[in-house]
Amino acid sequence: MIQHILTWPDPELKKKSAPVVVINDKIRQLVMDMTETMYDAPGIGLAAPQLGALQRVVIIDVSGKEEPPELIVAINPIIIHAEGESYEEEGCLSVIKYAANVRRHASVVVKALNLDGEEQTHRAEGLLAVAFQHEIDHLDGILFVDHLSPLKREIFKRKQRRMTEAS
Ligand code: GNR
Ligand code: NI
């Protein structure tokens, strides 16, 4: 089912998610809900805490209009290697009407479990590398706006406040 996506400044988004201990039906249902919600949005990734589930589960699909879609399900993901630097514009389904450049690693190697509980190694660069770092940040309660300079962050907050007051 398509679920509601929590948005800034919801305090749930700042919490640290817990590792998945067993991949059971509840986790499989969570991944299904995340997948429907991500493609509906649409987005290139989604982390479980964005739906209010504080579990270390992320999904990513950067294949865009290309067929077939390439969905990555990463459970308990960890970055085991990172190198280089990139500075690309990011947005977030949990941050309305705001995008900004964020400094990230240009390439990462991520270890994670898939839905069958098998350990997988993902070597990512470009948009996929950005997506992995963005989604894993969510699991630690970090949003891309937390990477902004203090000045840019203030401008972001002022803009959001003005937007919510206007409605
Ligand atoms: O859909 C999304 N697009 C995006 C673009 C640039 C950098 C990161 C992202 S992730 C975002 C979906 C989302 O908020 N995932 O947590
Ligand atoms: Ni996000």
Structure confidence at residue 6 (pLDDT): 98
Q: Which residues pair with 102 in a beta bridge?
A: 88
Check: CB of residue 100 under 8 Å from CB of residue 145.
yes
Q: What CATH number is attached to the domain comprising 161?
A: 3.90.45.10
Token pair for 7: 């948005």
- Asked if the model's pLDDT at residue 167 lies above 80, the reply is no
Query: Which atom of ligand 1 sits closest to the CA of residue 58?
Result: 16
Report the distance separating Cα 117 and Cα 114, nearest Å.
5
Active site residue 135: yes
Q: Is residue 113 situated within a structural domain? A: yes
Smallest CA-to-CA distance from 35 within 74, 1, 66, 12 is with 1
Q: Is 130 exposed, middle or buried (0-12, 13-18, 19+ CB in 10 A)?
A: buried
Ligand 1 pocket test, pick from 44, 57, 97, 132 with the greatest ligand atom count within 8 Å of Cβ, gives 44
Domain hosting residue 154, numbered range = 11-166
Radius of gyration of the chain from Cα atoms? 16
**The length of the chain, given as a count of residues:** 167
Query: Is residue 90 one of the residues assigned to a domain?
Result: yes
**Cα 38 to ligand 1 centroid, rounded to whole Å:** 10
Residue 141 reports pLDDT greater than 70: yes
In a domain, 70, yes or no: yes
CA dist., res. 150 & res. 12, Å (int)? 22
Cα(94) to centroid(ligand 2), Å: 6
Residue nearest to atom 11 of ligand 1 (CA): 92
**Mean pLDDT across 88-109:** 98
Instruction: Output the pTM of the full model.
Output: 0.97
Say if 75 falls within a structural domain: yes
Span 15-62, pLDDT tens digits: 999 999 999 999 999 999 999 999 999 999 999 999 999 999 999 999
In this prediction, residue 66 has a pLDDT band, given cuts at 50, 70 and 90, of confident
The number of the ligand nearest the C-alpha atom of 90 reads 1
In a domain, 6, yes or no: no
Residue 133's pLDDT is: 99
Does 12 score more than 80 pLDDT?
Answer: yes
Higher-confidence residue of 166 and 87: namely: 87
Please check whether residue 123 lies inside any domain of the structure.
Answer: yes
Q: Please choose from 4, 6, 93 the residue to mutate so as to test ligand 1's pocket, defined by most ligand atoms within 8 A of CB.
A: 93
Q: What's the structural domain count of the chain?
A: 1
Indicate whether 157 belongs to any domain. Answer: yes
What are the tokens at 85? 């630097």
**Alpha helix (H) residue ranges in 3-125:** 25-40
Distance CA 127, CA 75 (A): 20
Find the mean pLDDT for residues 92-115. 98
Give yes or no for residue 45 CB within 6 A of ligand 1: yes
Nearest to 43 by CA among 31, 67, 61, 55: 61
In a domain, 48, yes or no: yes
Q: What is the pLDDT of residues 112-136, one digit of tens each?
A: 999 999 999 999 999 999 999 999 9
- pLDDT higher than 90, residue 166: no
Q: What is the pLDDT of residue 127?
A: 98
